[in-house]
Amino acid sequence: MDNIQQQLESVLAVLRPYTHFIPEELRILGGKLIGDEAFEVLVMELDPFSPEGNILLKPAISKVLGLGLIGGSSIVKLPQILSVIRSKSAEGISLLTTLLESFCYLVSLSSNFRSGTPFLAFGEVAFMLVQNLFLAVLLLGFGGKYKQFQFFFSVVSILLYTFLAQPSADKPLVIGNNLLNFLQSIVIPLSGLSKIPQVIEIFKRKSTGQLSSITVLSNLLASVARIFTTLSSGVAENSMLIGFLVAGLVNVVLGIQLFVYGSNKSASPKVKTS
């Protein structure tokens, strides 16, 4: 470990004279993202191994990962969506998994929003929810379930109001905070287990259909990153960590299935999406 640190330190020593070329605009932006002190020590001085740098490094990495999660989550489902649109098929994608994921995202979004959690800690959930709902519409359409559109949109509209509106005596349909906290404790493990129907469907068909390898890999990396940011926040709960660990494990299983069954093509153009 000391040898690695010495080698990195020699590289940083070469780079330090050039940090003053960083434009003022980027310095201001960097300070806003990770904090002025952290940007000064870690970027301008390139001194992560000092006592001060050691203290600032982990929170800075956590903030950067949080931003990366939010940015990546805004397009993480896009390869999956494009794959379904191009093929005009929902083969290999479970509607049940998509709906369970969407419910978990909605509960998590509502809980974090009401508790005043910083957006960096949960922002990806909002983007994932929007993409998942759009994917569910595609699965219904290409699964031939056009008659269920009206029911789907009605239920989604009611749930969005129920979970995202602020609870009060004159809003009986809005979920109260106590019930929301209970649901949050349930969806933490459920979010990891929600992909089990997807795994079972692929195993039965011996084909991954239109399942996107990019989306699966992105979800796996997001699970790993969220484990780190949760630990770095200093308020990590065992249930949260278990949920992220389970999600990561299930994504590993999906990755293995993509490797094993990815070249198999089902003779049927459509898949049962329930």
In the chain, where the domains are located: 2-49, 65-261
Q: What is the mean pLDDT of residues 126-140?
A: 91
Query: CB–CB of 204/257 below 8 Å?
Result: no
Instruction: Supply the pTM of this predicted model.
Output: 0.70
Backbone dihedral region of 94: left (phi > 0), alpha (psi from -120 to 50 degrees) or beta?
Answer: beta
DSSP code of residue 195: T
Task: Count the neighbouring beta carbons within 10 Å of the beta carbon of residue 209.
Answer: 24
What CA dihedral angle connects 233, 234, 240 and 241, to 10 degrees? 90
Rounded CA-CA distance 168/174 in Å is 8
- The dihedrals phi and psi of 167, each to the nearest 5 degrees, come to -70, 140
Q: What is the pLDDT of residues 45-54, one digit of tens each?
A: 888 888 888 8
pLDDT at 73 over 80: no
Q: What is the pLDDT of residues 207-221, one digit of tens each?
A: 887 788 888 888 788
- Coil, strand or helix: which one is 74? coil
Rounded CA-CA distance 151/251 in Å is 30
Q: CB neighbours of 70 closer than 8 A, spacing ≥ 6?
A: 119, 120, 123, 124, 127
pLDDT score for 268 = 43
Q: What is the mean pLDDT of residues 59-79?
A: 79
What's the mean pLDDT when you consider all of the chain? Answer: 82
Rounded CA-CA distance 249/111 in Å is 25
Query: 133 falls in which pLDDT band (50, 70, 90)?
Result: very high
